[in-house]
Amino acid sequence: MIRTLAIVAALALSLAGCNAAQIAQAPIGQMTVDDARNIIYTLKSSYAATEVVATQYVKLPACEKPAAPPLCSSAPVVRQMVKLRDSARAAIYGGEEVVLNSSASTPLLSAAIAAAQNGYASFKIITETYKK
Amino acid sequence: MGAIIPILMQLFETVPSMVKAGLDVADLVSGAVKTTKQIGTSVSPTDEEFKALAALAKEYDDDFDAAVAARLA
């Protein structure tokens, strides 16, 4: 466990200087298909990573049970997570379809990317809301 | 770019033990997102990489759905 903690700590430190928002700031009017492919690929990867954490939360013992441990999952939070996950998935998967259709126009690409970004942001927020 | 899948897989294997250890989930999500964004900015992904990511995402979608079904049953 100590080794794993050390790996995570090193990973966090190595990423501290990374401008994570850079890829999401491609100028809308100048967005190319390559830009859009990069963004949607990154969004989907981030979505998948976030979903793993959300799944772990859902699998925790229920908070509603008597003598629930401090680290537990709340049914209302789980229901909210499901709604936001479904929205994020629809937006990201839909955006991917648009982006992978190379004949899509720049405005359509931009709209698809914006929808995917917004969908993912909501899912990320609810997942981050859960703390030990 | 092709390295993203094994890195993600390693990340996914690590996250559950971190959650069990009581680490802050927001930090975990933030770290995971930064990792994928950092990797994803280099080169435009190929169609094969999109397919590989789609398979991985579907697996985790299914895991989430199964966990929710069990939790809310």
Angle between the B25-40 and A2-15 helix axes, to the nearest 10 degrees?
Answer: 50
Q: Do A58 and B32 touch (CB under 8 A)?
A: no
Confidence tier at A48 by pLDDT (50, 70, 90):
very high
Predicted local confidence at residue A32, as pLDDT: 81
What residue in B sits closest to A62 (Cα-Cα)? Answer: B71
Does the pLDDT value for residue B70 go beyond 90? yes
- Residue keyed to tokens 């929205």: A87
A21: pLDDT strictly greater than 70: no
d(CA B38, CA A68): 38
CA of B25, closest CA in chain A: separation in Å? 6
Cβ atoms of residues A113 and A40 within 8 Å: yes
Residue from B15, B34, B39 whose CB has the most chain A CBs within 10 Å, to mutate: B34
Which residues pair with residue A73 across a beta bridge? Answer: A62
A73 CB neighbour count, 10 Å cutoff: 20
Cβ pair B36:A22 closer than 8 A:
no
So what's the pLDDT on residue A107?
84
Contact B37 A50 (CB under 8 A): no
Q: Within an 8 Å CB–CB cutoff, is residue B30 touching chain A? A: yes
Alpha-carbon torsion angle B45, B63, B20, A14, nearest 10: 0
Question: Is the pTM value of this prediction over 0.80?
Answer: no
ipTM of model over 0.85: no
Q: Distance (Å, rounded) from C-alpha A130 to C-alpha A119? A: 18
Mean pLDDT estimate for chain A: 77
Cα separation, A15 vs A88, in Å, equals 25
